Structure 1
Amino acid sequence: MTSTLTPGRYRGLKATSLAEADVFGIIAFDQRGSYRKMLPPDTGYDQLVQVKSEIIGALSLDASAILTDPVYGLRPAMQMSPKAGLLLALEKSGYSGDSSFRRTELLPAWTPEKIRKTGANAVKFMVYFHPESGALADELEALIRRVVSDCHTWDLPVFLEPMSYSLDPAVSKDSAEFAAGRAEVVIETGRRLSGTGADVLKMEFPLDIQFNQDRDDWRAACIELSRASSVPWVLLSAGVDFEQFKPQVAVACQAGASGFLAGRAIWKEAAAMSTADRAAFLRDVAAERLRQLLAIAAADARPWSDFYAAPAAVENWYESYA
């Protein structure tokens, strides 16, 4: 069952897709706080922008789109390949509250209207979310709905990124205890938040592969996530190494994902390199990683057009378009 998108949202998804298919192969480099930690503490703003520009510029030659941020990403967005679409992050980096009660905040003075004015094709909005966090989950869902409505007012599609976390301060996210319930958390999050109006979900792999290497289990969990979500979903990399991420992309795409939206698994080694070494790494290693993932997505990912239809081209359509 497909729903009909408005012209801007449909064009936004088209512009961020592979040219040969309605699937996504997007590079993410919207990190801010964690990005600063990759470089020496005395690294200035201009150098942070320059490194991001070099990485984005190289990978935009092949990626279907680039996700970046307004803090360091303006120059990269202006200099990247025009063949790639552009997504801009809306949220403030990090979270407020403590580690077991995480609130998401919007970046001050940054709005969907401004994102539309930059010429970007889509908005990315990240929230820390746990479906069992009670009133906080309800509060965040209401925030998501408001953000989605604001973005849709400007006819921008929304890629919603819910990140799971532990509600127990004594249980870390990378522990076996959290891993035991991770699939339930991720899948229920997909079920719940796919009903908020977001156009695409940017989802974590539903299993922690350091505790489960059974690919039949991987596939079953991804199939369950695909069934739970009423909108297309793409796989994020969550900072894992490329050798771990590639098989996750393969399984996820075979099980219903519409591609990937990944960053550090592809480019993270490049950030701290010298300019010359970075250029060589991006050309010889990162670009090849990206091409391998793009081939998987093109062959196996589920087209987002299974979910969405283009607006009808009826006479005088523009008169009622608002």
Structure 2
Amino acid sequence: MTQQITPGRYRGLKACSLPQADVFGMLAFDQRGNYRRMMPDGTPYETYVQIKMEVASALSQSASAVLLDPIYGLSAAMQVSGTSGLLMALEKTGYTGDATYRRVEFLDGWSPEKIRKMGANAVKILIYYSPEQPELADELDELVAKTAEECHAWDIPLFVEPLSYSIDESYGKDSAEFAAKRPDIVVETARRLSRTGTDILKMEFPVDLKYNADHDEWRKQCTRLSDASIVPWVLLSAGVDFEQYEPQVQIACESGATGFLGGRAIWKEAVPLSTEERANFLATIGTERLARLSAITAANARPWSDFYTTWTSAEDWYKSYS
């Protein structure tokens, strides 16, 4: 069943889509904490900004949209190709609370209104989320719903990126114990958050590849995710190598995903290189990676227009538009 959304949200999604297709082939470089950990101690602010500018300038021509952050990403945003959309992150990096009970905070002095005013096409928020903690999950559902309402007041779409984590101190997210629960956690997360008013979900792959290499099982769990979500979803890369990410994108798109929003899997090797070496990497390997992923998406992904329509022309439509 399709939902009618307002023109600004519809145009925002269009601006982030591949040409002639309502699917997403997007690049993420909104990392801050993980980005800093990739660099030597004492790296000046200007270097972080410069590398983001170089990556955005080189790769945005091959991406349907680019996701950036306001800390290091303003100059990069100004280098994004006119053929690409722009998403901006709203949240602070990291989380508050302890490792088994995580809350999110938004950047002070930053808002959907400002993101809209700077010319971006969509807002993104990242939250740490566990449906195994009902009270905290309810609190986060309310936060997402409130954020969606604020975004929609400015007629800009909201992308929500939930990251799972272990709520048990005795084992971590990379453990066999968590891997066994991961599919149900990811699927239930999609079910809940897709009903909060968000426009697009940016989801983790529902299977831990370290413990399960069965592509039939990958397909089964991605299909479960698609069935659970009432909004389109795209696949994040979670820092894996490109060789791992590409088959994930293939199976996710064949199983109902609307594309990808990938980061380090595409560009991470470029960060420590010299300026000249980085430019060569981005012009060759980085560009080829995006082209391969986008081709998979264009051929296999489910269009977001299966979920959304917008207003049709009427002589006085603008009078009721606010």
TM-score by length of structure 1 reads 0.99
| Letter matched to residue 108 of structure 1 | D
1:80 CA drift (Å): 1.8
Q: Which amino acid aligns with 2:241?
A: D
- Contact conserved, 2:258 with 2:303, CA < 8 A, in 1? yes
1:1-322 equivalences in 2 (<5 Å): 1-322=1-322
Q: CA deviation at 1:20?
A: 2.0
Deviations 1:134-184 (A, max 9, x none): 211111111111111111100010011011000012211011110000000
CA offsets 1:103-127 (integer angstroms, 9 cap, x no match)? 0001111001100100000001110
Question: What is the rounded CA distance, in whole Å, between the counterparts of 1:195 and 1:36 in structure 2?
Answer: 34
Q: Distance in 2 between matches of 1:148 and 1:221?
A: 27
Structure 1 SS opposite 2:169: coil
Instruction: Show CA shifts across 1:284-303 (max 9, x none).
Output: 11110110000000000000
The Cα shift of 1:310 comes to: 2.1
Between the aligned residues of both structures, percent identity stands at 61
How much does 1:56 deviate?
1.1
Q: Deviations for 1:205-227, whole angstroms, at most 9, x for unmatched residues?
A: 00001100000000000001000
* Runs of 4+ with deviation above 6 angstroms: none
Question: What letter corresponds to residue 213 of structure 1 in structure 2?
Answer: A
* Gaps in structure 1 of 5+ consecutive residues: none
Looking at structure 1, the residues matched to 206 and 33 of structure 2 have their Cα atoms a distance apart, in angstroms, of 25
CA distance in 2, matches of 1:226, 1:308: 16
Q: Distance in 2 between matches of 1:190 and 1:252?
A: 14
1:314 Cα deviation (Å)?
1.3
Deviates more, 1:131-140 or 1:83-92: 131-140
- Which amino acid in structure 1 is aligned with residue 78 of structure 2? M
Q: Which moved more, 1:39-48 or 1:197-206?
A: 39-48
Query: Separation in 1 of the partners of 2:22 and 2:32?
Result: 29
Counterparts of 1:3 and 1:315 in 2: how far apart (Å)? 22
Task: Letter of the 1:298 partner, please give it.
Answer: A
Amino acid of the structure 1 residue aligned with 2:36: R
Verify the 8 A CA contact 2:219 2:251 in the aligned structure 1: yes
Q: Displacement of 1:130 after TM fit?
A: 0.3
Which stretch of the first structure deviates more once superposed, 244-253 or 40-49? 40-49
Letter in 2 for 1:76: A
Aligned-residue CA RMSD in angstroms?
0.6
SS at match of 2:288: helix
Query: Are the aligned partners of 2:80 and 2:86 in contact in 1 as well (CA < 8 Å)?
Result: no
Cα separation, 1, equivalents of 2:230 and 2:80 = 33
SS of alignment partner, residue 66 of structure 2: strand
- Unmatched segments (≥5 aa) in structure 2: none
Give me the whole-angstrom Cα distance separating, in 2, the residues matched to 1:259 and 1:216: 19
Task: Describe the SS at the equivalent of 2:130.
Answer: coil
Read off the aligned partner of 1:10 and give its amino acid letter: Y
Structure 1 CA distance for aligned equivalents of residues 82 and 226 of structure 2: 32
Counterpart secondary structure, 1:252: helix
Quick one: distance in 1 between partners of 2:134 and 2:250?
A: 34
One-letter amino acid of the structure 1 residue matched with residue 184 of structure 2? E
Q: Tell me the CA shift for residue 48 of structure 1.
A: 0.6
